[in-house]
Amino acid sequence: QLTQKHALLSQYKQGMMQKLFSQQIRFKADDGSEFGEWETLKFKYFIQERNQICSDATVELCSLTIEKGVTEKTERYTRDFLVKDEKNAYKEVHFNDFVMNPMNLRFGAIAKSNMDKIVKISKYYNVFNINQNIVNLDYFVYFSVSKPIIDFYNLMSTGSLIEKRRNHFKDFIQYEKSFPCLEEQTKIANFLSAINQKIEVVAQQIEQAKTWKKGLLQQMFV
C-alpha cells in the first residue's frame, strides 16, 4: 500500500511538472491577478560557468548520479590512481552550483549541489551557477529534469553514434526556453517541493516498514 502510494505521488508529480512547464496550468498572483506572458530566455542570460580547477587533495570528491544528484563518493577506493594529472583532474563545486554531465544530460544527469561546503568533481562535468535575480534556483532544479526539457535535450544532442550523443556546454548555454516571472517561478517551485516532501515521507515510511519486518523475522527465528 505504501509502495503504491509512493508510485502514485511520483506519477502525480511528473504529470504536474509537465502541465506546469507547458503552461497548461498557471498560478495566479497573491492578489488574484493573472501573471504576465512567459519570457523567452537564452540560458547564457542567467547561467555563469564555474571553471575552477581544484588541486586540493583534502577537498571531498563527489560524483553525479541521475538518482541521487551530487553525492559523496561512498566507495572505499577512488580512481585517483588512474588519474595522471591529479592537479588538473577536478573542478570545484560550491553550494547551490549545478553540475551536468554532457554525455548523459539527455537522461537527466543534471543536479544542484546541496553540499554545504566546497567539493570537487571530475573535470569532464560542467559546473555552473545561476543568477537568482532572474531564475529561481528550485524552479530550475525541477525544470531542468522535467520531461519536456529531457525531450528537448534529446533533440538537441549531437554525435554520429546514438550511444555517444551529448549536449556540449557551449550549446547548452545557447538553448532558449520560456520562463515565467520570478514570483510565478517561486509558486511553481514551492508547489513541487510540497509534493516532494510528501514523497520523501512515504519513502521513509517504506524503509521503516522494511526494518520492522526484518526485525520481526529475526525475532521469529531466534
- 68-108 per-position pLDDT tens digit: 899 988 654 455 545 555 667 899 999 999 999 999 999 99
Domain shared by 75 and 113, yes or no: yes
One domain for residues 169 and 203: no
110, 61: one domain: yes
Q: Who has greater pLDDT, 194 or 212?
A: 194
Helix and strand numbers (H, E) in the chain are 5, 10
Query: Do residue 89 and residue 167 come from a single domain?
Result: yes
Q: Which of 39-53, 78-92, 109-123, 193-207 has the lowest mean pLDDT?
A: 78-92
User: What is the tally of structural domains in the chain?
Assistant: 2
In the predicted model, what is the mean pLDDT of the chain?
Answer: 90
Q: What is the mean pLDDT of residues 53-74?
A: 89
| Residues 54 and 106 reside in one and the same domain | yes
pLDDT over 70 (residue 34): yes
Q: What is the pLDDT of residue 211?
A: 85
Fill in the amino acid letter for 140.
F
Residues 151 and 212 in one domain: no
107-160 pLDDT tens trace: 999 999 999 999 999 999 999 999 999 999 999 999 999 999 999 999 999 998
Both 175 and 190 in one domain: the answer is no
* 56 contacts 119 by C-beta, under 8 angstroms: no
Residue 166, judged by CB atoms within 10 A of its CB (0-12, 13-18, 19+), counts as middle
Residue-range definition of the domain harbouring residue 127: 40-179
Q: Once rounded to an integer, what is the mean pLDDT over residues 49-71?
A: 91
Q: What percent of the chain has pLDDT over 90?
A: 74
| Same domain (yes/no): 187, 175 | no
Q: Which pLDDT value is given to residue 78?
A: 53
**Exposure letters 171-191 (e unless 16+ CB within 10 A, then b):** ebbebeeebbeeebbebbbeb
Q: Report the CATH number that the domain containing residue 92 is assigned in CATH.
A: 3.90.220.20
Does the pLDDT at position 15 exceed 70?
yes
**65 and 172, same domain (yes or no):** yes
